[in-house]
């Protein structure tokens, strides 16, 4: 019996990395069993910074392939592409008219991205979280599984819902985020959040030798300068990843032996690599298989969009009536 409706989204950037997988997608797969889940490939979000026109379509397909390979099942959830349901942008406009600019300028992601793209700070980039609020609320979703970096956007979504409800009458729920125990994975530099744009990522579909090379050169506990120095797993990003992919026994042993310098970083990385590949290789194989039948994927996305259009159309109608439009 479904406990409620879930919504979440991911940008089609051409790569899905360990941060996305551990922070969000693994959870998306689990939640399918107990909730009505709607998962969205957010192409309109992806165009808020400079992008390659010819790559976007391929990236959307690649995102769909990766999500399905990770275990999303179109029989048990709805998967669709954002721009196929125009109500998302229609509701964004209504929400724009309820959103003080100051709220948007304060968003950490906006501040970070406008640093990275100084030449090209668009209205779209500023408005990004309002579109995200519309994504969630157009389905009146109650729960949003995301990584830690998105919590601020979910808080803003609650504020927008509250403002709409106060102004036009009770309409939207105030959605709650669902975080995993490892909701923040750092990059291979060990210092900044793993992300495509910082080029510090390990893609879950990258070839094994590439994954090993990235792991091998990943920053661990920087205070551990020599093999004989004891390390501190509490501040080592790779230990965080161990806890996801390695058995409780392996993790406990590494935790112990790192602190006493019985195990070195290279050996620790080899164990992590083996455990991680045991997990990722079946996903990679499934992705290769899925790529052989693009028509099946397109048809799943089409069905998803049809289902979403029905819900979104009804909610948009209610919004228009309440806001006095038409």
Task: Give the per-residue contact string, 176-205, with ligand AMP (x = CB under 6 A; - = no).
Answer: -------xxx-------xxx----------
* Near ligand TRP in 3-22, by CB under 6 A: 7-11
Contacts of 15 (CB under 8 A, 6+ apart): 196, 201, 203
Residue 136 binding ligand AMP, by CB under 6 A: no
- 3 has catalytic annotation: no
> Which one of the listed residues 3, 30, 111, 196 is annotated catalytic?
196
Residue 59 binding ligand AMP, by CB under 6 A: no
Q: How far apart are CA 115 and CA 91, in angstroms?
A: 28
Give whichever of 135 and 221 is closer to ligand TRP, judged by the CB atom.
135
Task: Give the per-residue contact string, 254-293, with ligand TRP (x = CB under 6 A; - = no).
Answer: ----------------------------------------
Q: Which of 145, 125, 141 is nearest to 133 (CA)?
A: 141
Residue 136 binding ligand TRP, by CB under 6 A: yes
Site for ligand TRP (CB under 6 A): which residue of 15, 144, 156, 241? 144
Q: Are 219 and 227 in contact (CB under 8 A)?
A: no
- 243 has catalytic annotation: no
Residue 135 binding ligand TRP, by CB under 6 A: yes
Which DSSP string do the residues of 257-308 spell out, in sequence order? HHHTTSS-HHHHHHHHHHHHHHHHHHHHHHHHHHTT-HHHHHHHHHHHHHHH
* Near ligand AMP in 157-176, by CB under 6 A: none
Taking CB under 6 A as the binding criterion, the range among 64-72, 144-152, 243-251, 308-316 that sits at the site for ligand TRP is 144-152
Q: How far apart are the first and last CA of the chain?
A: 38
Q: Scanning the structure block, which residue is given the tokens 């979000």?
A: 45
Enzyme catalytic residues: 113, 193, 196
Binding site for ligand AMP (CB under 6 A): 10-11, 13, 19-20, 23-24, 146-147, 149-150, 183-185, 193-195
């Amino acid at each position: 019996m479904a406990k409620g409706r879930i919504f979440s989204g991911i940008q089609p950037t051409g790569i899905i990395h360990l941060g996305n997988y551990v922070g969000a997608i693994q959870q998306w797969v689990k939640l399918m069993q107990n909730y009505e889940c709607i998962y969205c490939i957010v192409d309109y979000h992806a165009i808020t910074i400079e992008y390659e026109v010819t790559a976007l379509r391929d990236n959307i397909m690649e995102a769909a392939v990766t999500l399905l390979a990770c275990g999303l099942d179109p029989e048990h959830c709805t998967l669709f592409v954002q721009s196929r349901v125009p109500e998302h942008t229609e509701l964004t406009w209504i929400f724009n008219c309820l959103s003080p600019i100051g709220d948007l300028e304060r968003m950490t992601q906006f501040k970070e991205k406008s640093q990275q793209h100084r030449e090209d700070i668009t209205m779209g980039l500023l408005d990004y979280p309002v579109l995200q609020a519309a994504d969630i609320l157009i389905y009146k979703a109650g729960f949003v599984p995301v990584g830690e970096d998105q919590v601020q956007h979910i808080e803003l979504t609650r504020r927008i819902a509250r403002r709409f409800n106060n102004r036009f009458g009770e309409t939207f729920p105030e959605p709650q985020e669902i975080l995993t125990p490892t909701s923040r994975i750092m990059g291979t530099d060990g210092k900044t959040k793993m992300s495509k744009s910082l080029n510090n990522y390990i893609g879950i579909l990258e070839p094994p030798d590439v994954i090993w090379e990235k792991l091998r050169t990943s920053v661990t506990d920087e205070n551990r300068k020599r093999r004989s120095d004891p390390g501190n797993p509490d501040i080592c990003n790779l230990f965080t990843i161990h806890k996801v992919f390695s058995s409780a026994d392996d993790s406990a042993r590494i935790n112990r032996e790192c602190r006493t310098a019985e195990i070195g970083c290279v050996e620790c990385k080899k164990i992590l690599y083996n455990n991680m590949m045991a997990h990722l290789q079946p996903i990679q194989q499934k992705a290769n298989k899925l790529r052989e039948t693009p028509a099946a994927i397109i048809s799943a996305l089409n069905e998803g969009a049809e289902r979403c259009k029905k819900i979104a159309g009804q909610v948009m109608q209610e919004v228009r009536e309440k806001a006095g439009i038409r």
